[in-house]
Structure 1
Amino acid sequence: MAFLKHNGRTLCYRLLGDSAKPLILMAHPLGMTQGVWDDMLPSLLGKFRVLTWDLPGHGASAAWPAGSSRITPDDLAREALALADNAGVEQFHFVGTSIGGVIGQQLVSQHADRLLSATLTNTGAVIGTADAWNTRSANVLELGLQTMAVDIVPRWFGPNACEQQPALVEGWRVIMGRGDNRSYALLCEMLGRADFREQLGHHQVALALIGGTDDVATPPETLQALAQCSGAQEPVILEGIGHVPSVECPQKFSQMLIRNLV
């Protein structure tokens, strides 16, 4: 792990691989950590340099500052750009899942010149409803992530993963429960406000969308709506996969990226 100070807050990241290879920045889902990419690294590092990082209050990244009561997609996109700048890279491939895909949409809409491509998975131009996200934010502040993780984490994975790997669910419950409640709540509120339906119509970024048949958070129709407003091709929907393909089918996901980006 390594650390970078950005706007007074410490970001935890990993930068792996040969500096001569193209860089991929990878952004994880809400409530998880950069560890979601671990099983993909052996395959990707043969072709790419890889940079992963923890979102605010997740993993080993510092919580969102107490003096700020709002997080925006642009705040998170600028963290990604700061990490790319620190790596000495002008352009990069971007991969993001869930809230990571929201970061990707912000980069596509406002910083397309920095992108070689964007692969967005299990996300949407709009995800859920503002009321639902604001309710979750309030519940997290009242109950805490450790309590909330009991019901949230099983929703991340398809039935096959939950049945065949019960330790997987329990492990991610522990990880989510260690996050910063306030940072998570602010990110929920951000997702309730985020709406990219009118922002993605004019870009030149090579954009690929991936989802899962068993994703209850961002089902296939959410990806299809994103394709329509962004001009992307029809999403690839993975059979039997839930919200986090990098964990449920890392080899298949790695092969898709290598095939699409090399």
Structure 2
Amino acid sequence: MATGEGTLRCNGADLAYRIDGASGRPTLLFSNSLASDMSIWDNQVAAFKSDHRIVRYDTRGHGRSSLPEGTPTIDDLASDAIALIDQLKLGPVHFVGVSLGGMLGQALAARRPDLLRSLTLSDTSSETDKPEIWEPRIQGALADGMAPLVEGTLERWFTAPFRAAHPERIEPVRRMIAATPAQGYAACARAIQAMRQTAILAKIVTPTLVIVGREDGSTPPAAAERIAKAIRGAELVVIEQAAHIPPIEQAETFNQHLRRFLSKAAAKGASSAASGPAAASS
């Protein structure tokens, strides 16, 4: 499919998506965090669109995507992504998810490795160590909307020096968080609150890069280490001077690591194809 945007019914949700970049090139599928929309990946689109097809979508209940009735699980969110990949005929893709996007990416990789060329998990976790922290946020959003949660979210997402030095970059993020539908935030926060998927990590066979900001207090380096140790062959990268959203705070460094990993994954895929049954019998 050429560059453009639209909405697709996927697993009961109407998911808003956008496609940028080079048609016929390897596909990068980006999945956003809680309290954000697809614009969280703007820096990556600019960096990769010349040699990749870029597909972004808003998680259900976020941005322009609808929120079906009921409380979703992480597995439901993974099913949304699977349906999007199938309907747009994208696969196999290089999947990149941050925070909540990384959580559903784990479930996607464990269930449907055939849809993936590689898996990048940024600032995420495989289980919720402190589910009690979510209840005040959920109840606050439902009672008062997103406005009271904005500043605390920014403090968790970015280091203090970055917030002070780059108000022009913080302001669009502030507006994005505030614009998140409260019901969508609460529903997806419930999915995170109930998440227990460390046991599925051993099923993941896709080449995997795990990235984390050194100063991420929400999903700290210890959580990233747990994931990287459980996935066979996974690579762990810790980005200095970054908190929970390195794709924005340290975009250049994040992109450098991602590009290197994608090149490595592509070379490995080409090598595997060359040594497959057809090559062996030639």
Normalising by structure 1, we get a TM-score of: 0.92
Question: Pick from 8, 28, 34: which aligns with 1:4?
Answer: 8
2-structure distance, mates of 1:7, 1:230: 27
Contact 2:138 2:189 in 1 (8 A): yes
Other-structure match for 2:162: 161
Q: Secondary structure at the match of 2:91?
A: coil
Whether 1:28 and 2:28 are equivalent positions in the alignment is no
Q: Percent identity?
A: 29
What is the number of equivalent residue pairs in this alignment?
259
Q: Which runs of 5+ in 2 are unaligned?
A: 264-282
Q: Which runs of 5+ in 1 are unaligned?
A: none
Contact 2:47 2:255 in 1 (8 A): yes
Within a 5 Å distance, the mapping from 1:184-223 to structure 2 comes to 184-223=185-224
Within a 5 Å distance, the mapping from 1:224-239 to structure 2 comes to 224-239=225-240
2-structure distance, mates of 1:148, 1:74: 26
**For residues 41-62 of structure 1, what are the alpha-carbon distances to aligned partners after superposition, in whole Å with 9 as ceiling and x for unaligned?**
1221222111001112222222
Which one-letter code corresponds to 1:16 in the other structure? D
Q: Secondary structure at the match of 1:93?
A: strand
Other-structure match for 1:17: 21
**For residues 25-52 of structure 1, what are the alpha-carbon distances to aligned partners after superposition, in whole Å with 9 as ceiling and x for unaligned?**
1001111111111112122122211100
Other-structure match for 1:45: 49
Other-structure match for 1:243: 244
1-structure distance, mates of 2:89, 2:154: 36
Q: Secondary structure at the match of 1:89?
A: coil
1-structure distance, mates of 2:158, 2:233: 25
Higher share of residues assigned helix: 2
Q: How many angstroms does 1:180 deviate by? A: 1.2
Contact 2:11 2:83 in 1 (8 A): no
2-structure distance, mates of 1:38, 1:21: 19
Q: How many angstroms does 1:179 deviate by? A: 1.4
1-structure distance, mates of 2:144, 2:85: 36
Contact 1:212 1:242 in 2 (8 A): yes
CA gap 1:183/1:239 in 2 versus in 1, 3 angstroms: same
Whether 1:58 and 2:62 are equivalent positions in the alignment is yes
Other-structure match for 1:86: 87
Contact 1:26 1:51 in 2 (8 A): yes
1-structure distance, mates of 2:234, 2:161: 28
Contact 1:54 1:61 in 2 (8 A): yes
**For residues 203-242 of structure 1, what are the alpha-carbon distances to aligned partners after superposition, in whole Å with 9 as ceiling and x for unaligned?**
3210110001111111111111112222353521001011
Which one-letter code corresponds to 1:134 in the other structure? E
CA gap 1:234/1:91 in 2 versus in 1, 3 angstroms: closer
Normalising by structure 2, we get a TM-score of: 0.86
Contact 1:207 1:232 in 2 (8 A): yes
Q: Which moved more, 1:85-94 or 1:47-56?
A: 85-94
Contact 1:154 1:169 in 2 (8 A): no
Contact 1:102 1:125 in 2 (8 A): yes
Greater RCO (CA < 8 Å, at least 6 residues apart)? 1
2-structure distance, mates of 1:190, 1:7: 16
CA gap 1:239/1:230 in 2 versus in 1, 3 angstroms: same
Q: Secondary structure at the match of 2:36?
A: coil
Contact 2:162 2:249 in 1 (8 A): yes
CA gap 1:134/1:229 in 2 versus in 1, 3 angstroms: farther
2-structure distance, mates of 1:12, 1:137: 24
2-structure distance, mates of 1:230, 1:127: 18
Contact 2:26 2:93 in 1 (8 A): yes
Q: How many angstroms does 1:160 deviate by? A: 2.4
Q: Which moved more, 1:199-208 or 1:78-87?
A: 78-87
Within a 5 Å distance, the mapping from 1:83-162 to structure 2 comes to 83-162=84-163
Of structures 1 and 2, the larger Rg is shown by 2
